Amino acid sequence: MLVFVINCGSSSIKYQLFDMPARRQLARGLLERIGEAGSAVLTHRAGSAVLTHRAGEGKWILELDAPDHRAGLDHILRALVSGETAVIDDLSRIRAVGHRVVHGGEEIREAVVIDDAVEAVIERCAELAPVHNPPNLVGIRTARAVLPGCTQVAVFDTAFHHTLPKKAYLYALPLELYERHHIRKYGFHGTSHEYVATEAARLLGKPLLACNLITCHLGNGCSMTAIEAGRSVDTSMGMTPLQGLMMGTRSGDLDPAVLVHLLRNGWVSDVAELDRLLNRRSGLAGISGLGNDMRTLEEHMETNERARLAVEMFAHRVRFYLGGYLALLGRCDAVVFTGGIGENDSLLRRLVLEGLEPLGLSLDPEKNAATVRGKPGAITTSASRVPALVIPTDEEGMIAASTYELAK
């Protein structure tokens, strides 16, 4: 069965085509700048969308007119079946479409076949994830129109965290705010945390339900999860993806009174500006002044104090949560690093793990430095009581697997 996986953003569509159940990837790509007429990029003509399409060893970068997501998806599907970019001969071979959806609230706790009722839940949850759920919903409605014969499946970032106990997901606010308005911690990156937890259990030679793990998804967005007996029991992100670790452009944890202080003194003009400050202008970018790319910051650490500070703050926050989750679990079978930074940044992993021998983590500098991109492996010594593993995530593969199981 061919399964098409879509991750739809406000002006982008990320996609992969899988042959299931072998999970063999036939094509993948990213269409950017949908509907952004007039926002010229120096290397591209004004108003053009850019499709980067990969199949086998081939890579194509195409400039296209995509005024909306419907036009964008038409271009992507055309690339799959026509010309030198083609990997299949007819779109009828695609039998199912899997959609990444960020927020399912309390109503949806697992992957589901999409119907009008599911769409309605996703739309209601847009209040909780205003940046993510609306474009996710656009992708769903577009795919249902363009590929009407396919089973459409939604896989939710929040689903893996539905096992959080009440003591972990409630905020210390008047309980009525939860009961009436569902103000609570939901957690995100669930598909990634579930995937690397499953892989960690396999590498450890234990059933997942026998494993206590701490998974660290570190990228432009960052979250950590405490997993007890294979189930999420606490996670760093909250009602929205803003809570928790310091991230690329998000602040993560801060004193709530800071928000009141900013508004009361007029240092931000309104709620919209406050939202931009916390989600777009903070984190690594806000501290460093050099942007949100960890590689750039590490290149400038020796000569730029703000870059060094940003990197050190980032590592400090990860260590803080790591210590807390070790205490929460009591017994930990492994710490897992994943995501763009977690998988590829040996310096950051060293800053997080150095000096944690009293907590059972003994870093092996040579293994850490030699970890090959895309390959799982341990970065701690053989004597380390708690192994630390690097495991590349595969969210799209997990979405494809969930979609296949429901569609078959």
Query: Residue 234 catalytic?
Result: no
Chain CA centroid to CA 82, Å: 31
Looking at beta carbons, which pairs linking 133-137 to residues 24 or more positions away fall under 8 Å? 133/101, 133/102, 133/103, 134/10, 135/8, 135/9, 135/10, 135/69, 136/8, 136/99, 136/100, 136/101, 136/102, 137/101
DSSP assignment string, 312-381: HHHHHHHHHHHHHHHHHHSS-SEEEEEHHHHHH-HHHHHHHHTT-GGGT--B-HHHHHHPPTT--EE-B-
Element (H, E) at 52: strand 49-55
C-beta of residue 350 within 8 angstroms of C-beta of residue 368: yes
Bridge partners (DSSP) of residue 389 are 336, 378
170's tokens: 């409630």
CA distance 111 to 405: 10
Interatomic CA distance for residues 249 and 263, integer angstroms: 20
- 156-186 burial code (b ≥16 CB/10 A, e <16): bbbbbbbbbeeebbeeeeeeeebeeebbbbb
> Which residues fall within 8 angstroms of residue 255, CB to CB, at 6 or more apart?
none
As given in the structure block, the two tokens for residue 387 are 């192994």
CA distances from 91 to 52, 61, 87 (A): 20, 22, 10
Q: Which helix (H) or strand (E) holds 195?
A: helix 190-204
Active-site annotation holder among 157, 234, 333, 345: 157
Closest CA to 232 of 163, 329, 318, 332: 163
Task: Supply 296's token pair.
Answer: 């750039």
Q: How big is the CA angle at 199 (ends 2 and 132), to the nearest 5 degrees?
A: 60
Residue with tokens 């309605």: 120
Rg (CA), the chain: 22
Q: Specify the pairing of strand 94-101 against strand 58-64.
A: unpaired
Q: Which residues are catalytic?
A: 157
